[in-house]
């Protein structure tokens, strides 16, 4: 709570213009729903601009349903990521309005139309195999009200494919580049644009690729400036940051 607001509130209490109860409530306003196995954060939208997102891996279908129920009143477009088709099937029985995005392995519950931004986020992949990560980003970005442009399979082994699409990338307000292997696409795109670029390394590769570590390290050491990086396969995280930037 900001210091000015604190002083005002206390003055209201001192002057009898505010009850003790409502002051306690105000000082506690970051609230949550306590389900025992989870404490669902109900003030995240106010604090962070976006509601809590459900990370599906490692949670049971029942736990996910419980969390959705706690959020449903206050939140539309409840996003659940890393969700297997099997868990989704179980959830859908309780939440019939839920929609599943197969490639992205995400679901959206309590779906609502949100206004889209004028500006857009370009989502660029090096290869066909990177598309599931890209779709996780796409579903996230659209859930948060962003226009997006997909530019898939323009890796540097055939760099003319990138140049053929460079205009749509350059016109974006923020660019997400998704690549496995050596991740060189992030550096090449980074050298050609004047907008923030968020790089997502993927697990696509084998052997010395070390399940994505190589692409991650390469992107962190990009010779192009203006490149920031998220965890391996973290399409959600890239889209979340990109959405923040796109809404500025």
Region of residue 161 (phi > 0: left; psi between -120 and 50: alpha; otherwise: beta)? alpha
Closest CB 212 distance from its own copies, rounded Å: 6
Angle in degrees, 0-180, between the axes of helices 61-72 and 85-94, rounded to the nearest 10: 50
* C-alpha–C-alpha distance, residues 141 and 158, integer Å: 28
| Segment interacting with its own copies, rule: CB under 8 A, options 19-27, 70-78, 87-95, 110-118 | 19-27
User: C-beta of 65: minimal distance to its own copies in Å?
Assistant: 13
48 near its own copies, judged by CB under 8 A = yes
Cβ 76 to its own copies shortest distance, Å:
18
Stretch 125-164: interaction string toward its own copies, x if CB under 8 A:
-xxxx-x--------------------xxxxxxxxxx--x
Query: Among residues 111 and 195, whose Cβ is nearest to its own copies?
Result: 195
Task: For the segment 204-233, give every residue that binds its own copies (CB under 8 A).
Answer: 204-233
Percent helix / strand / coil, the chain, rounded to 5: 45, 20, 40
Q: How far is the CB of 3 from its own copies (least distance, A)?
A: 7
H helices of 73-153, where?
A: 85-94, 131-143
**Dihedral Cα 128, 129, 131, 137, nearest 10 deg:** -140
Could you tell me where the DSSP H helices lie in the chain?
Answer: 3-14, 20-27, 44-48, 61-72, 85-94, 131-143, 159-170, 184-190, 213-220, 235-246
Is residue 89 a contact residue for its own copies (CB under 8 A)? no
Residue 44 makes contact with its own copies by CB under 8 A: yes
The correct pick among 10, 89, 112, 114 for binding its own copies (CB under 8 A) is 10
- Cβ closer to its own copies: 96 or 229? 229
Please answer whether residues 163 and 170 qualify as being in contact, where contact means their C-beta atoms are separated by less than 8 angstroms: no
- 197-201 and 106-109 beta bridge pairing: unpaired
Residue 96 or residue 119: which is nearer to its own copies going by CB? Answer: 119
Between 23 and 90, CB nearer to its own copies: 23
Q: How far is the CB of 246 from its own copies (least distance, A)?
A: 9
DSSP assignment letter at 172: S
Nearest-angstrom CA–CA distance, 230 and 216: 8
Shorter beta-carbon distance to its own copies: residue 109 or 187: 187
Quote the least distance from Cβ 130 to its own copies, whole Å: 8
| Pairing verdict, β 197-201 and 120-125 | unpaired
Q: Which of residues 166-195 bind its own copies (CB under 8 A)?
A: 167, 173, 181-184, 187-188, 190-195
């Amino acid at each position: 709570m900001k210091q000015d607001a604190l002083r005002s509130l206390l003055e209201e209490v001192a002057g009898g213009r505010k009850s003790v109860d409502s002051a306690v409530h105000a000082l506690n306003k970051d609230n949550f729903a306590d389900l025992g196995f989870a404490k669902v954060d109900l003030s995240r939208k106010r604090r962070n601009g976006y509601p809590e997102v459900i990370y599906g891996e490692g949670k049971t279908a029942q736990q996910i349903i419980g969390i959705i129920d706690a959020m449903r009143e206050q939140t539309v477009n409840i996003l659940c990521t890393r969700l297997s088709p099997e868990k989704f099937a179980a959830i859908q029985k309780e939440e019939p309005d839920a929609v599943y995005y197969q490639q992205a392995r995400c679901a959206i519950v309590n779906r609502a139309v949100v206004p889209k931004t004028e500006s857009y986020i370009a989502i660029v992949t090096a290869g066909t195999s990177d598309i599931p990560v890209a779709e996780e980003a796409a579903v996230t970005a659209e859930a948060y009200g962003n226009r997006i442009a997909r530019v898939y399979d323009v890796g540097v082994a055939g760099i003319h494919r990138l140049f053929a699409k460079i205009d749509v990338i350059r016109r974006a307000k923020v660019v997400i580049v998704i690549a496995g292997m050596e991740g060189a696409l992030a550096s090449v795109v980074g050298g050609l644009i004047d907008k923030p670029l968020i790089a997502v390394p993927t697990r696509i590769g084998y052997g010395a690729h070390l399940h994505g570590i190589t692409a991650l390290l390469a992107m962190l050491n990009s010779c192009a400036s203006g490149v920031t990086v998220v965890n391996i396969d973290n399409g959600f995280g890239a889209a979340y940051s990109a959405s923040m930037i796109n809404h500025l």
